[in-house]
Structure 1
Amino acid sequence: MNLCEANSPEEKEMRFEEAFKKLQEIVHSLESGQLPLEDLLQKYEEGRRLLKICDDKLNQAEQRIIHLSRRENNSI
């Protein structure tokens, strides 16, 4: 299994803001230094999945903006 792939339909349909908030929470918990190794690894894996979701959502938004800009420029 690729650790960076979204596992559940909920993760695949997650909004950018929700994924980013969860990612921030994970980063905070990882930086705290208070997690046992196994929990640290699980949080890291979850963070990688959330990072991929955020990256995919940003790429989709960028492509949409590019498409809209091209369409607008063609109508001028």
Structure 2
Amino acid sequence: MPKKEPVINENSEPSFEQALSELESLVETLEQGDLSLEESLKSFERGVALTRTCQMALKESEQKVQILSDQRIDAEPEPFDRDN
């Protein structure tokens, strides 16, 4: 049975996995070269937004790992600013 692609609303924040999957699909479509210039630019713009989403998710995960792996006895979890 074919794998169903998750439906992603462009106005909502997709999960890392959803964003990566959509980004891979966009790259494949762009590499085929069958899109018009306008469609290609729209796809490229969406790809940039998805890349930023993935980068932010990876940055947040890295921060969490650093906090959790801190070996100091008095280490306290520190809030991180999601917008940076």
Same fold by TM-score, threshold 0.5 exceeded? yes
Unaligned residue ranges in structure 2 (runs of 5+):
1-9, 74-84
Q: 2:13 matched to 1:32?
A: no
TM-score with structure 1 length normalisation?
0.79
- Structure 1 equivalent of residue 56 of structure 2: 56
Q: Whole-Å Cα distance in 1 between the matches of residues 66 and 30 of structure 2?
A: 36
- Structure 1 equivalent of residue 72 of structure 2: 74
Q: 2:44 matched to 1:44?
A: yes
Q: Whole-Å Cα distance in 2 between the matches of residues 28 and 55 of structure 1?
A: 20
In structure 1, the residue corresponding to 2:35 is in which secondary structure? Answer: coil
Q: Whole-Å Cα distance in 1 between the matches of residues 34 and 19 of structure 2?
A: 23
Counterpart amino acid of 2:27?
V
TM-score with structure 2 length normalisation?
0.72
Larger Rg: 2
Q: Which has the higher helix share?
A: 1
Counterpart amino acid of 1:28?
E
In structure 2, the residue corresponding to 1:25 is in which secondary structure? Answer: helix
Q: Which has the higher contact order (CA 8 A, sep 6+)?
A: 1
Aligned positions of 1:11-26 closer than 5 A: 11=13, 14-26=14-26
What is the Cα-based RMSD across aligned positions, in Å?
A: 1.1
Unaligned residue ranges in structure 1 (runs of 5+):
1-6
Give the percent of matched residue pairs that are identical in Structure 1 and Structure 2: 34
